[in-house]
A and B are shown apart, each in its own frame.
Chain A
Amino acid sequence: MAATPDGKGPLLEVEDLHVSFRTPKGMVEAVRGVSFELGREKLGVVGESGSGKSQTGRAVMGLLDARATVRAKTLRFGGIDLLTASQRRMRRIRGARISMILQDPKYSLNPVMTVGRQIAEAYLIHRRGTRAEARSRALHMLRAVRIRDPERVYHAYPHELSGGMGQRVMIAMMMVPEPDILIADEPTSALDVTVSLQVLAILDEVVERTGAGLIFISHDLNLVASFTDRVLIMYAGRVVETCAADRLAEAEHPYTQGLLSCLPRIDNPVETLPTLKRDPRWAGGPQ
């Protein structure tokens, strides 16, 4: 279990997290008792829709809307209690120390501002500095995400960029204040397969260089397993299994096994794909 370099324990501690929503049909519990720790590593959170994986990420950032209630035994980021932190404190943490990348850069980048200005602004919000400093940091980050012509991209608008470039710009923007934790919520789901591998490679490089912890949320189990160090598998708001990414084939929980076996495989043809028989006991709790 990787710890912070000063050895004072993990970056993020989550214990018994619950997120519930008020809906016209009653209370809906999206996250039901999730616990995990994050060090300076790449942690994958995998689940299907409705598993609560995105809500977990947003609960850590404090980004859920007013209809949601967040409860936890512990929700601590390097010593700071996120549950009781004031809005002001959360604003200072968000972006500066914990950042988030979302799925589609078309919707998460401001369409009327140039890309460079957005990155520079992300820098200025969290660090005192001159505009010139912010600009040079922005260009530096654009280079860090392997954009070959940073000057040109600096002055481009989001709609002028392809999907892959847009995500790289998002990575640049979110990493410019050098956060300790990066949460990536389906960062490559909207991208073509070849492009998404390139984006992941860049993410890999950037995260390793800055020593940040990464939470990679996705529905793609194989992709997550090949990219991260450790994987959490979620079902119905609970974590049903945790395992090292390279030992996924030895997974024990029937849900994980089911997920792995129901994928069609090029090298292993079958007439009928095995389907997941959902056991209601899986919603009952972790092993």
Chain B
Amino acid sequence: MAETLQTRETLRGWLMSDAPANAFQARCQRIWFSWLAFRANPIAMAGFIIIAALILMAIFAPVLTTGDGFTQHLGDRLQPPSWEHWFGTDQLGRDILDRIIWGSRITLYIVGLVAIIVVPIGMIIGITAGFVGGWVDEVLMRFTDIFLAFPRLILALAFVSALGPGIENAVLAIALTTWSPYARIARAEALTLRNSEFILAARSQGASTRRILARHVAPLCLASVIVRLTLDMAGIILTAAGLGFLGLGAQPPAPEWGAMISTGRQFILDQWWVPTMPGLAILTVSLGFNLLGDGLRDVFDPKSGGA
């Protein structure tokens, strides 16, 4: 006990120290202070807890579930929620809670992949357009406008129909329809930063445009993009669920939440729990991401002191 107390004291000392000894310590300190500011915001913490629960649920799925979510138990069809099946069973006798837990992996997979594709593309296009300006800006922005002009679900439908159903194609389709606002945001940030004195200082030292974009501009644009991403997550999940609902995303018997609603909707009147539970799962996770995004925005906003 005394030992853990002591380690905590030294860790705290290390984090609060006025004279960091190396770059790693300096970065950890910054993250620590941002975390403290974040923690002080109850809305942000609520969102964080929900998303943390989602991630933990996905990681520990084998431990948390009683079955594999696939095996059918036709004798147990459409059982209402009970001690044995907390969320009841669906039309093939599968425990719904189990399927939701397994389905969280699919949800995270989709949003994770979309984020990895969308953020780099949007940022590269956006900061190049904003910083370099001129005809480069015009060309890149018109290209972005083309994608912005289409309603997200319709364009996603078109892509998926062309590429064929399946999770990866759904991810690709969603990514293609989602990246354009990030380019706009990154461009707006780059425009304001273009004339900052530290950028001028870098230019006067002879830094190349590529260096300035990568080392000076990009780190500062990242905050806005990430905030926007978390706020968009809800939309991404819903689009994926929509595609799943239409049978164009994850294919049965995969426990994708949207597909669960779709196959369960015929039971809504008498066995309400079959489509409703996955629906509530989508609702909760979307809410969680929204709250988290709001919280991040407050932390990153310079006025509230998030460095």
Distance of A42 Cα from B36 Cα, bound (Å): 45
For residue A24, CB closer than 8 A to chain B, the reply is yes
Q: How many residues of B contact A (CB 8 A)?
A: 4
Q: How many residues of A contact B (CB 8 A)?
A: 2
Distance of A281 Cα from B36 Cα, bound (Å): 35
Q: How far is the CB of B170 from chain A (nearest CB, A)?
A: 44
Q: How far is the CB of A121 from chain B (nearest CB, A)?
A: 26
Contacts of A25 in B (CB 8 A): 16
Q: How far is the CB of A66 from chain B (nearest CB, A)?
A: 13
- For A24, give the chain B residue with the smallest CB separation: B36
For residue B33, CB closer than 8 A to chain A, the reply is yes
B4-21 with Cβ < 8 A to chain A: 16
Q: How far is the CB of B219 from chain A (nearest CB, A)?
A: 23
Chain A 1-37, CB-CB to B under 8 Å as 1, else 0, gives 0000000000000000000000011000000000000
B194-248 with Cβ < 8 A to chain A: none
- For B305, give the chain A residue with the smallest CB separation: A24
Distance of A24 Cα from B16 Cα, bound (Å): 11
Contacts of A24 in B (CB 8 A): 33, 36-37
Contacts of B16 in A (CB 8 A): 25
Distance of A128 Cα from B98 Cα, bound (Å): 70
Q: How far is the CB of B20 from chain A (nearest CB, A)?
A: 15
Contacts of B37 in A (CB 8 A): 24
- For A25, give the chain B residue with the smallest CB separation: B16
- For A23, give the chain B residue with the smallest CB separation: B305
- For B33, give the chain A residue with the smallest CB separation: A24
Q: How far is the CB of A16 from chain B (nearest CB, A)?
A: 30
Chain B 14-40, CB-CB to A under 8 Å as 1, else 0, gives 001000000000000000010011000
Distance of A25 Cα from B36 Cα, bound (Å): 11
Contacts of B33 in A (CB 8 A): 24
Distance of A209 Cα from B37 Cα, bound (Å): 50
Q: How far is the CB of A120 from chain B (nearest CB, A)?
A: 31
Distance of A25 Cα from B18 Cα, bound (Å): 11
Distance of A193 Cα from B2 Cα, bound (Å): 63
Q: How far is the CB of A22 from chain B (nearest CB, A)?
A: 11
- For B40, give the chain A residue with the smallest CB separation: A24
Distance of A25 Cα from B17 Cα, bound (Å): 11
Q: How far is the CB of B17 from chain A (nearest CB, A)?
A: 12
Q: How far is the CB of B301 from chain A (nearest CB, A)?
A: 16
Distance of A24 Cα from B33 Cα, bound (Å): 9
Q: How far is the CB of A133 from chain B (nearest CB, A)?
A: 39
Q: How far is the CB of B3 from chain A (nearest CB, A)?
A: 27
Q: How far is the CB of B19 from chain A (nearest CB, A)?
A: 15
Q: How far is the CB of B133 from chain A (nearest CB, A)?
A: 24
Q: How far is the CB of B18 from chain A (nearest CB, A)?
A: 10
Q: How far is the CB of B115 from chain A (nearest CB, A)?
A: 30
Distance of A25 Cα from B33 Cα, bound (Å): 10
Q: How far is the CB of A185 from chain B (nearest CB, A)?
A: 20
Distance of A24 Cα from B15 Cα, bound (Å): 13
Q: How far is the CB of A67 from chain B (nearest CB, A)?
A: 11
- For B36, give the chain A residue with the smallest CB separation: A24
Distance of A25 Cα from B16 Cα, bound (Å): 9
Distance of A148 Cα from B210 Cα, bound (Å): 53
Distance of A25 Cα from B305 Cα, bound (Å): 13
Q: How far is the CB of A254 from chain B (nearest CB, A)?
A: 28
Chain B 25-58, CB-CB to A under 8 Å as 1, else 0, gives 0000000010011000000000000000000000
Q: How far is the CB of B16 from chain A (nearest CB, A)?
A: 8
Q: How far is the CB of B38 from chain A (nearest CB, A)?
A: 12
Q: How far is the CB of A24 from chain B (nearest CB, A)?
A: 6
- For B16, give the chain A residue with the smallest CB separation: A25
Q: How far is the CB of A179 from chain B (nearest CB, A)?
A: 30
Distance of A117 Cα from B152 Cα, bound (Å): 46
Contacts of B36 in A (CB 8 A): 24
Distance of A202 Cα from B62 Cα, bound (Å): 79
Chain B 116-149, CB-CB to A under 8 Å as 1, else 0, gives 0000000000000000000000000000000000
Distance of A253 Cα from B132 Cα, bound (Å): 55
Distance of A120 Cα from B283 Cα, bound (Å): 51
Distance of A25 Cα from B15 Cα, bound (Å): 12
Chain A 22-57, CB-CB to B under 8 Å as 1, else 0, gives 001100000000000000000000000000000000
Chain B 88-111, CB-CB to A under 8 Å as 1, else 0, gives 000000000000000000000000
Q: How far is the CB of B41 from chain A (nearest CB, A)?
A: 13
Distance of A24 Cα from B30 Cα, bound (Å): 13
Distance of A92 Cα from B33 Cα, bound (Å): 40
Q: How far is the CB of B10 from chain A (nearest CB, A)?
A: 18
Q: How far is the CB of B145 from chain A (nearest CB, A)?
A: 30
Q: How far is the CB of A68 from chain B (nearest CB, A)?
A: 15
Q: How far is the CB of B223 from chain A (nearest CB, A)?
A: 19
Q: How far is the CB of B40 from chain A (nearest CB, A)?
A: 9
Distance of A24 Cα from B12 Cα, bound (Å): 14
User: Chain A interface (Cβ within 8 Å of chain B)?
Assistant: 24-25
4 A-B pairs with C-beta separation under 8 A: A24-B33, A24-B36, A24-B37, A25-B16
Q: Closest 4 interchain pairs by CB?
A: A24-B36, A24-B33, A24-B37, A25-B16
